[in-house]
Chain A
Amino acid sequence: MTGIPLIEARDLIKTYGSRRRLIGESHPVYAVNGVSLKLARGETLGLVGESGCGKSTLGRLILGLEIADSGSVEFDGSPLARAGSAEWRRSRARMQMVFQDPLSALDRLLPIAAQIREPLIIHKFGSQAQMNKRVGDLLNAVGLTAAQGRRLPGELSGGQRQRAVLARALATSPDLLVCDEPTSALDMLIQAQVLDLFAEIQSASGVAILFISHDLRALRRVSDRVAVMYLGSIVEEGPAKQVLEAPRHPYTQALISSVPGVGGLSPNRILLRGEPPSPTQRRPGCAFQPRCAGAVHACNHTAPTLLPVSNPSHRVACHLLHPGGEPASIARPVA
């Protein structure tokens, strides 16, 4: 693994304007509010958060499908080319995406083998024979038969369609795959198969995956690292095992304790009252403060920053863990 991360995003901010009314000001929606993240080659980063927290916007910023208001994204050490430019188009072969609804991502009138072939034609993969072989290999890799490749998307099941989308995304041997809720529309059994497929392809091809999902159980199955977003910011980030099994941020703790386990919901689960506040109504301090059981005075006026806890690769943005905003290591021990 080289020292340069495949993706390095710094201080990304993306706002969407809300419509200005006749009277009053317009309130911009802070979809992504100062996010920095790194993704190493061959790594799977799970990005989790509730609807509207900005996780999909972050995925689109990293692909260059949206332009950030401020901040930068570097892909393989160089800044992302402007969307639509010839250079960006070339780099697109190296970054691909998979969305939630495979049926709307596929052309309903074209057999899936032809759709898997399209990126090969666009990026001038090689001769007809080479392309045929590549399409066959890709179908095989995602567990589809050649006969299924001749079918239209409507003739396949939901899980098979998502496999087809994945085969198409892998056609150009990308370095990065951004998957936005790729298994949310599938039932548990098919979901498990598709998640295993992701893990398998990841280890076989070394593609880095940004796996965006609100489903912590799915995330755990594929992720090396996990980042938790709340209202546009990352509140906790670290190795998947640590974040999911020993979460430190109060929001992550509440989120994880709300996932029904073998016996249903945990009797000790942490109740979160209400719903995430609207991203238009920004307040100073920690965004989670209104719903946090442990909020202290500092949470009202200063936004916490991501700082390492026990393990340097596990970072949490919470005043309770870092009183005074200093790293935990030099902070006064809490009585």
Chain B
Amino acid sequence: MQSLTAHSSDRRPDLLAADVEANICRLEHPRPTFRSVMPEANRKREIAGNGPQRALDTVPLIDIRNLTVTFGDTRILRGIDLAIEPGESVGLIGGSGSGKSITWLAAMGLLPKTAQIGGSVLLRGSEILGAPRTSLERLRGGTIGIVFQDAAAALNPVRSVGWQIAEVLQLHRGMVGQSAQDEAKRLLDLVGIPEARRRLGSYPFELSGGQNQRVMIAMALAAQPAILIADEPTTGLDVTIQAQILDLLRTLRRETGMALVMISHDLGVISDVCERTYVMDAGMVVEEISVRDLHTSPKHSYTKRLVAAAPAWNLGGHLTDHAESPGPAPVRAAIENAA
């Protein structure tokens, strides 16, 4: 133990302070332009926006411009710009405290009154920042669905899941009675909960973590949102359950055509469900990049560090071509045995 080595300075945790300094430096330089890496849809929007007649379908679903959040003297968000097109799947990557979640809490007016919020959040072209409470309440859980990390904590522990889904149906779609029950059952079927009819009477504590997350997703879908914000929806789950939830989100997006914003610090999760992603660090968007380029050509130093830190990608790499590998032998042997 006496031979414990001193640490190389590049791994010191006071890196965090260095990060902040780096960002302050960055602020003094012109912001990089993202247009070059923007997907086709966004470029079209640019053109359409400048053109004489702006077609309705080229307005982004959500357009956040220079969003800032300050608590007292602490600047949490330093001017966020991002846009989500209808039906698009966009990632938001960043470390703890980078402002990934705060961005959406601020956009939906869910931050405490002590927060000073600046900038603009346009939903289909109309401002929602500072909108009256009643109209925000229609948006939250209505046009904009949210799924949080800890589903068990987000659900009401003393109400059955059927009751909670029916509540959303009543609030946002005016459905009551048997039609609400039937729709709730259909939603539980949709998110892959077995014996949906019986499960309507279950309480969150009777369900597993993965099932609770499915219930959360069913509740979000109940209001037929145009966009689903998934805030680390699989972080607490096991990998096999995570894979099921990611599959589910991908299928639902295909079937409902809703847009999806995936907030995560796991690049693998983002790569799986998103087409492009914003990278956030210390309250700023430092890079916007297509998922295809994320691992091969990240531009910003923070993105590069994130990619480099992702431990041991592609476990069991042979699984991609398992015809020749010894890996799945038992299953194959069994199939051959049975034949």
Contacts and interface: CB of A to CB of B under 8 A. Distances in A.
13 contacts: A143-B12, A170-B1, A188-B267, A188-B310, A193-B11, A217-B312, A245-B315, A248-B329, A261-B315, A264-B273, A269-B243, A294-B332, A321-B330
Most B Cβ at <10 Å: residue of A187, A250, A310: A187
Interface string B289-312: 001000100000000011011111
7 A-B pairs closest in CB distance: A264-B272, A260-B268, A320-B330, A294-B334, A192-B309, A173-B1, A294-B331
A271 B239 CA distance: 11
A258 B242 contact: yes
Contacts of A250: 328, 330-331
A49 to B, nearest CB: 9
Contact of A201 (B4, B309, B322): B4
A190 B98 CA distance: 13
Interface string B311-337: 111111111111001111111111111
A272 interface: yes
A261 B331 contact: no
Interface stretch (A56-64, A102-110, A152-160): A152-160
Interface of B: 1, 3-7, 11-16, 95-96, 194, 208-211, 238-243, 246-247, 265-269, 271-273, 291, 295, 305-306, 308-322, 325-338
Given A142-B7, A192-B310, A264-B271, 18 more contacts: A143-B11, A186-B96, A188-B95, A188-B266, A190-B95, A195-B311, A197-B11, A220-B312, A244-B312, A246-B316, A257-B316, A258-B239, A261-B314, A262-B295, A266-B320, A272-B240, A275-B208, A334-B336
Contacts of B327: 246-248, 253
A248 B330 contact: yes
A334 B4 CA distance: 51
Interface in A288-319: 293-296, 310, 318
Contact of B268 (A158, A207, A218, A259): A259
A193 B311 CA distance: 10
A268 B319 contact: yes
Given A190-B95, A248-B326, A259-B315, A268 B239 contact: no
B333 A294 contact: yes
A214 B326 contact: no
A280 B326 CA distance: 34
A173 B4 CA distance: 10
Nearest to B335: A294
A137 B4 CA distance: 8
A258 B319 CA distance: 11
A205 interface: yes
Interface in A263-287: 263-272, 274-275
B305 A262 contact: no
A158 B330 CA distance: 42
Nearest to A137: B4
Nearest to B274: A264
A145 interface: yes
A80 interface: no
Contact of B13 (A193, A274, A321): A193
Most A Cβ at <10 Å: residue of B268, B269, B331, B334: B334
A310 B326 CA distance: 10
A295 B311 CA distance: 33
Contact of A220 (B295, B315, B322): B315
Most A Cβ at <10 Å: residue of B3, B14, B238: B238
Nearest to A256: B316
Nearest to A220: B312
Contacts of A294: 330-335
Contact of B246 (A145, A262, A265, A335): A265
Contacts of B295: 262-263
Nearest to A272: B240
Nearest to B270: A264
Contacts of B333: 294, 320, 334
Contacts of B334: 293-296, 320
Nearest to B208: A275
Nearest to A158: B96
Contacts of A256: 315-316, 319
A141 B316 contact: no
Contacts of A221: 311-312
A266 B266 contact: no
A204 B310 contact: no
B238 A51 contact: yes
A195 to B, nearest CB: 6
Contact of B316 (A160, A193, A244, A296): A244
A200 interface: yes
